[in-house]
Amino acid sequence: MTESHKLVVYYIAQQAKTNQLIGDNNIHSIFNNRMVNIVSESQKQAVDSYLNQQEPRPEIIDTFIEVPENRRTTKWPQLERAVDAAKLSGALLVIAELGTLTNNEYFAQLLLESSVNFYCCDQPFVNHTILEALYKHAQVQRKLHGKLIREGLKMTSAKSGNPNAAEVISKVNKPKIDTAIVFAFLLQPIISDYRRKGYSQRQMVKALNEEGFTAPEGGKWVLSQLQKVLDRVKLNEIALQAGHVFSELSEKQYSYSQIAEEFRNQNIISLKRTPWDEAQVKKLEDRIKQIQEITHINQLVLSLLPIVKEFRTRNLTIQEMLDIFEEKNITIKEHVA
Amino acid sequence: MSQQEPLPDHILECIENLRNQVNEEILEQASLEVALESAVKHLPVYLKVVKSHIEQLSRVLNTEQHNHKTLETADLAQPVRQLMSIFKELSDDDLLTMEQLASLSKIQGTVVRTTQEDHVQSQTAPS
């Protein structure tokens, strides 16, 4: 049997409760409410139909069933395994249903970077070139969508509705944003080593995956993910290096454009390939503030932890703890000006 | 341990530090309420994403590829070093207590704010 006659089949399943499956028949099962993975009949038929068209009939060497958290997830562990299996055996990866997954950059990039041969039963015309085009189109659409949302938020803030919409959203997302900044700090020593070795971004992705340092939310790295983290690493580095210069100039009441000019004069590396401008200085200021806040909250937790432990040993109630803080002149509540 | 027993010096020092940090006005408002709210929202996300990666970092740095560095010799940034110290100490009970402190201080904050706003309004209202 030639290698092209070997297949690795990949299904996308949905989770359902067993009682949902038998619901209409009114049967009470001991498996009630147990979660099971359901591969749709259409996917099974699509794969069968593909197999029946092949002469000689290929051999399925492995089957993988993915149950994605949602369609926008960054984790595709079964796809990673399927790609590895196909690569290892030189088999064709048969994707039962591609659907709209070309919009998911992690899914699409995993396939594109693997260079395995694949066949999508529901969209047989999709090959590497078309997948890459669809993926890039989705990227452009996402950017446009993001721009529309930002403009919409500004309109909402300016006109009616919630005047603080943008502010509220950024507050809700703050823990995630701050975690991304800390993650970039965490990756920094590894990236420094890679840079010293002259690795390209693609080589960095490969090395991270080989060394077993997973992507922020687990799973393998893809290039676009690393590029976002590299931007954060760079911004963090410049914020630490140029932070004191920025503070000095701010104290002297320099405007953003004056600070940009000063940075250019001092040959401080800019955030982008273009020289320092107002927008870059503003971005740097935001990052300096974010790092300051992260450090501040962490320091506060470090001070609070021994106190909390001691208070618990003394069996104090939460109210008694707050009373002690108040007694020690710690401002507990914000005051109206 | 008796509730009335005086607090040990190192705890008093921590309370002093905490007071200074709360008063630093780095956050949008200088109050324990705001600081606690921020801390209890951040810690679960840090635990989920950062903690496991610190373990991975330690393992990866200790390879030949990275000259057998350790977390201590890797020149990590301050936020990461702080979180390493937090993770060493933080228990589920600590997090729960902090969450309860955040909730209660928020409730008290709302009560006080409402009372103060009522007071301001009554002062400025035309007689």
Rg for chain B, CA atoms, rounded:
21
Q: Provide the 10 A C-beta neighbour count for residue A314.
A: 15
Contact yes or no for A300/B18 (Cβ under 8 A): yes
| Distance to chain B for A88, nearest Cα, Å | 25
- Nearest chain B residue to A239 by CA distance is B77
> Mean pLDDT lowest for which of A21-25, A43-47, A271-275, B72-76?
A21-25
Q: Do A308 and B98 touch (CB under 8 A)?
A: yes
A contact test, residue of B32, B50, B62, B119 with most A CBs within 10 A: B32
What residue ranges do the domains of chain A occupy? 3-126, 173-292
Q: What is the pLDDT of residues B26-78, one digit of tens each?
A: 666 678 888 999 999 999 999 999 999 999 999 999 998 898 889 999 989 99
Mean pLDDT, residues B2-7 taken together: 72
Residue B41 in 3-state DSSP? Answer: helix
Q: Which one of A27-41, A141-155, A265-279, B22-36 scores highest in mean pLDDT?
A: A265-279
Mean pLDDT, residues A43-72 taken together: 89
Q: What is the pLDDT of residues A197-207, one digit of tens each?
A: 999 999 999 99
Strands A6-17, A35-39: parallel, antiparallel or unpaired by DSSP? antiparallel
Nearest to A121 by CA among A14, A38, A10, A37: A10
The hierarchical CATH code for the domain A3-126 is: 3.40.50
Q: What is the pLDDT of residues A77-125, one digit of tens each?
A: 999 999 999 999 999 999 999 988 888 888 998 898 888 999 999 999 9
Q: Does residue A130 surpass a pLDDT of 50?
A: yes
Is the model more confident about A24 or about A171?
Answer: A171
> Between the CA of residue A322 and those of A149, A299, A330, B103, what are the distances in Å?
41, 19, 9, 11
Q: What is the pLDDT of residues A220-274, one digit of tens each?
A: 899 999 999 999 999 999 999 999 999 999 999 999 999 999 999 999 999 988 9
Share of chain A above pLDDT 90, in %: 60
> Would you say the ipTM is above 0.95?
no
Q: Does residue B123 surpass a pLDDT of 80?
A: no
Which pLDDT score, from 0 to 100, does residue A284 have?
95
Predicted TM-score of the model (pTM): 0.72
Q: How far apart are CA A324 and CA A318, in angstroms?
A: 10
Return the amino acid letter for B26: I
In chain A, residues 255-294 whose CB comes closer than 8 Å to chain B:
291-294
Which pLDDT score, from 0 to 100, does residue A33 have?
56
